[in-house]
Amino acid sequence: MLEMLEKKDDAKEFAKGNNKRAAIQCLMREKLYENHIEQLRNFQMRIHDQMIMLEGAKATTKMIDALRTGATAMKAMQKAMKFDVVDKIMDEINEQTQNKRMIQETLSAPTDISRNYDELEVELEELEVVELEEGLLQLTTTTPTITLQNEKLSHSLHFMVVEQLQ
């Protein structure tokens, strides 16, 4: 680039000195240098383009090789796994899942104590009724002069107590 500037300066000097031929030769050399530089830039650009295309081709080749390897591995796996085998495995998984659910249900089921709580409450109510009846019987046996009207009253009292307990 420096030489081109010098050639231009030389051409100006020759033009001032009325040496037209030397000035034109300097300008011609400048044009030759410019053309040569342009050619070198074009060559460099083509080399750069070629490098990019080679990198792309290399990446494409690697990708195709990886896809081919994956397809081969997939085929090998497909040969190893028949539908019957997969179906059997799925049945086993479903069976194990069902077993797990049954175990969880068993473990989360209420204990016998809580299950029998309602029965125990009924039994307690029956005991209270029996106790109340015995208390009433003791009252009637200790006072033999109870009239028929008092018996009706105690009998209706007994039913009222039983109804409320239930």
Q: How far is CA 33 from CA 4, 25, 68, in A?
A: 7, 12, 52
pTM equals 0.37
Of 18, 25, 47, 17, the C-alpha closest to 8 is 25
Q: How far apart are CA 26 and CA 23, in angstroms?
A: 5
pLDDT at 96: 94
Q: Which two tokens stand for residue 153?
A: 């009253």
**pLDDT for position 7:** 64
Joined together, the tokens standing for residue 84 give: 């019957």
| Angstrom distance (rounded) from CA 40 to CA 46 | 10
Q: Please write the tens of the pLDDT for every residue from 1-43.
A: 556 556 667 777 777 888 888 888 888 888 888 899 999 999 9
- What gap in Å lies between CA 164 and CA 151, rounded to an integer? 20
